[in-house]
Amino acid sequence: MNYTNKDIRYIKGVGEKRAKLFNQLGVKDADALFGLYPRSYQDWSNPMTIAAAPFDIPCCIKARIFGSIKEQYIRKNMTIFKFKATDDESVLSVTIFNNKFLADKLKTGEEYLFYGRADGNLVEKLMSSPEIRKVGYQKIRPIYPSTSGLSSNIIEKIMLEGLIATEFPETLPQQIINQYNLCSRSFAIHNIHFPASLKALETAKDRLIFEELFILQIGMLSKKERKNIISSCVLREDYRAEFWSKLPFSPTDSQQRVVAECVADMMSGKPMSRLIQGDVGSGKTAIAAALIYCAVKNGMQAAFMAPTEILAEQHYKTLSAFFDGCSFNIENLTGAVTKSKKNKIKVQILSGNTDIVIGTHALLQDDVQFNNLGLVITDEQHRFGVAQRTLLQSKGNNPHIMVMSATPIPRTLSLVIFGDLDVSTVDTLPKGRQKIETYAVKSGLHERVYNFLKKHIDEGRQAFIVCPLVEEGETDLVPAEEYAKQLSENQFKDYSVGLLHGKMKPKQKDDIMRQFADGKIQLLVATTVIEVGIDVPNAVVMVVENAERFGLSQLHQLRGRIGRGLYKSTCILISDAQNKETVERLRIMSDTCDGFKIAEYDLKSRGPGDFLGKRQHGLPDLKIANLANDMYTLRMARTAAKDILKSDPNLSSPQNKPLADEVERMFESAAEFGYN
């Protein structure tokens, strides 16, 4: 029997009940089952001596039981069995908990394999609750993600049944397999689940990691190529110099370079699709304004979408100031606008009388129609899904797309997250931008920190205190709501203390942020909801509680809420964590304000989770590739993908049909990429 494409229910050993459990793991058919890769392995293939066994790392030891197996009753429902084993050089003391069945099967004088974590000291090694098997069971065993009622052991048996009964035809072109020295797909799938050896496991991983990244890059590059269509929104004239001359400050070299790259795209005859990434405060809004100016002067409309009403309002004020004296008609369209005013704005947009529309998700409504939409800008791109960006884009005839992100992302990682976009980086800060002094301190200094806050508030400034989100059952942390109440009743009872957290309704959040921006709130206690917030130049101090619970890139984003005015700003990171990694991470934060250096370190030390996860909008999950470790393979896969698409852009040749099917399967929509 060949199980390919079969519903998981019909694989031997599954059935209706287990199928529901497999569904909880995201496994609905045989293909998904074979893609349920082990999360780890038990290596029984090379048992070691007792003396060589490392402490607290799972390992396999071969030893012979000597002496008696002693049964000891501890309390109700707890019986332990103890015995010793030797390899003729050292002794291993073994304890088994509540498993009389296993203890009865063991025989003094016989040799066994013991798999577990060794403890003890250099004189005596101990092992508690090891898995025990007879000598001869020398293989590498897979350990699978499991759920209640569906153990790794059960999955292992079902996987073996499925693999034996299924053939795995090749998906990659033979030229790619040869060029990159990859094993066959069949070898890779069998050996990722049941490795013949450690070398075979590595060979299988190399193939599957390459294939996953290769298919991902094919999809992203295909999407990018399909945007290189003829645009009706071509810039006929370049108004950059005219815009720069109107500014009360000189643009940085980075700003001028990035705007030049964008204008070149917009004059090319094809729609621009570009990500502008720059550190906090690098002047991305001025870049957006320059492009809007060029678009409107060429007779087009521009739409600017922000993630929150308060941020949209801020952009409205900023752009209105940039275009003061110009004859541009600018409107702000958010959920807070009254229904009658919304209707008037929509009529003006459709007629073409409105040149620039700034707004939130309200711009995506069906009845918001444009007359000649030529430029679409989204701020803080990771707050929007690809589908939302595409929907706004569809309101014009192949308009130019610019997305902005203040989250510095290492270039190699941006190939995956924004693979369908060209990337421009703003890597210098405007003159006058404040360097934020950052200090990491212990919680014992809280009173001094509070006095520091009061000193600056008394001078007329404002401050933030940021608290981590508290998971259920974490009693060592104080939730933001409780903390704000405590501060307002005690240490800061003579000051105005505000509270902002993610569970508030949007209108509540906006009201609090407006009060803070207007100076009515002196100290704002908040969660990471302020990570993307408004510009409050008067806020000069930020205190981050339990700083070890945040990723470095997130800490850097939070820190960017201060240092926006004329006043010296300070960030204080409070943490009692003692582990080496945390101390090093907080040292990095204290030593540098360069977001790109911080992002690189964060990627290496914590993996890509801080960048991907919820920000990975529109992208498939990676099952085996790890973007923190597999960047070299990603670059190879991208080169291979470009080569394939150069010779067969639509993957329409017979030899590339299996590859097209895999891309379709990965992205769950062939139509999105135009494959037949």
- Round to whole Å and give the CA distance between 111 and 130: 15
- Round to whole Å and give the CA distance between 262 and 257: 9
46-138 folds as: OB fold (Dihydrolipoamide Acetyltransferase, E2P) (2.40.50)
- Round to whole Å and give the CA distance between 458 and 452: 10
pLDDT at res. 616: 40
Structure tokens at 133: 């098997």
- 578 burial (CB, 10 Å; 0-12 / 13-18 / 19+) is exposed
Structure tokens at 435: 């360097």
Strand partners, 70: 82
* Residues 60/113, Cβ–Cβ less than 8 Å: yes
- Round to whole Å and give the CA distance between 361 and 384: 9
Domain boundaries, the chain: 46-138, 240-268+283-405, 437-592
Residue 483, φ and ψ in degrees, nearest 5: -65, -45
240-268+283-405 folds as: Rossmann fold (3.40.50)
pLDDT at res. 361: 80
Q: Which of 287, 278, 313, 253 is nearest to 556 (CA)?
A: 278
CB contact set of 116 (below 8 Å; sequence gap of 6+): 58, 59, 127, 128, 129, 130, 131
- Round to whole Å and give the CA distance between 202 and 188: 9
* DSSP SS3 for 655: helix
* Residues 223/673, Cβ–Cβ less than 8 Å: yes
Residue 369: CA atoms inside 13 Å, Cβ hemisphere, count? Answer: 6
One DSSP character per residue, 29-46 reads: BHHHHHT---SEEEE-SS
The two domains 46-138 and 240-268+283-405 share their CATH topology (first three levels equal): no
Place of tokens 């909008």: 617
**Residue 193 identity:** H
Residue 375: CA atoms inside 13 Å, Cβ hemisphere, count? Answer: 31
pLDDT at res. 384: 55
User: Cα 488 from chain centroid?
Assistant: 35
Q: What is the mean pLDDT of each run of 10 residues along the chain (676 residues)?
A: 74 88 88 91 93 91 94 88 93 93 93 93 86 90 90 92 88 93 95 95 96 89 66 87 89 93 92 84 88 95 86 86 90 86 92 92 84 87 59 80 78 65 80 81 93 95 87 64 90 93 80 89 87 78 91 83 86 90 88 81 62 47 77 87 88 88 72 38
437-592 folds as: Rossmann fold (3.40.50)
- Round to whole Å and give the CA distance between 223 and 672: 8
Structure tokens at 655: 């030899």
